[in-house]
Structure 1
Amino acid sequence: MKFQVQIYVKDGTDYVLLDLFQDESIVVKSSVQDIQDIAQVFTDFSQTFTVPASKTNNGVFKHYYNNDLDELNANIRLDSRLEINRTPFRRGQVQLEGAEVKNNQVESYKITFYGDVVTLKDLIGNDKLKDLNYATVATTYDGATVQNSITDTSDLDVRFR
């Protein structure tokens, strides 16, 4: 089965489908880290890959290759989403890493996809466990509730073992 990847990047208020090279491979790394050290829990990311300097992509990436423009900041990540065969796969951001320019014309852009959260620590910030809001998972702690959570086969927010 041939997989086709679609990358949508937010440009203003709308998502724009980027043009891709037919032969470019996009590798997304997903990993589950040791949750004991939340500073080491990372999100999905891709290797840097290349997209053509098409009319659509030039519109999204503006004039990145022109370093005379003051308003351009290549360190900003653009909201994006990856789809595989038109099925949602990941949400995150695309960061522009560089542009290939030949004869004063941009030919391609190098971009990297990052998932929604760079690290779990970035998501939680400086919050402590005592600072978190547990209202959505508050439960009565009594024998019947504990026994029910052990034997109930439905999808529960809180379980006891």
Structure 2
Amino acid sequence: MDVKRRLNSASQKCQSAGVKFTDKRASVLAILLASEHPLSAYELVAQYNRVHDTSMQPMSVYRILDLFVELELVHKLASSNKYVACFHLSCDHNHGEQFFLVCKSCGASHEVGMTDALMEQIKGSAEAASFQLLQSQFELSGLCQNCQAKVES
């Protein structure tokens, strides 16, 4: 994963949206990009404050994360109330709908693109039930390859 390239892409997306990509915002995103697991706002605060001379308050991190979610730079995993950098951050195309595979043992997550056909089937099922979808981010829980190997040994 090329963190610098993905930070540059995030900076361009912020600029296109008329939002400044400040040093604090870049630092929060860099921490998420470097992490192997999703992080909570408080985990981000702790990591930021460990590395920087100035401290950041949780409310500031929440505001940054809300902005990043709105700009589709990060995703919020509702099942754990943690955040993960978008895997498609440096893509030029719209990556569409996605779902997340979340390991129940170690917390690792993997972003997977959803096919248009599957999304249409889900929307059709919702419409048939007279249900209006407001968000369509799915999280599937299970065991990652590493945790499966630990269970088997």
Name the TM-score, length of structure 2 as normaliser: 0.27
Q: Which has the higher helix share?
A: 2
Q: Which has the higher strand share?
A: 1
Structure with higher RCO (Cα < 8 A, 6+ apart): 1
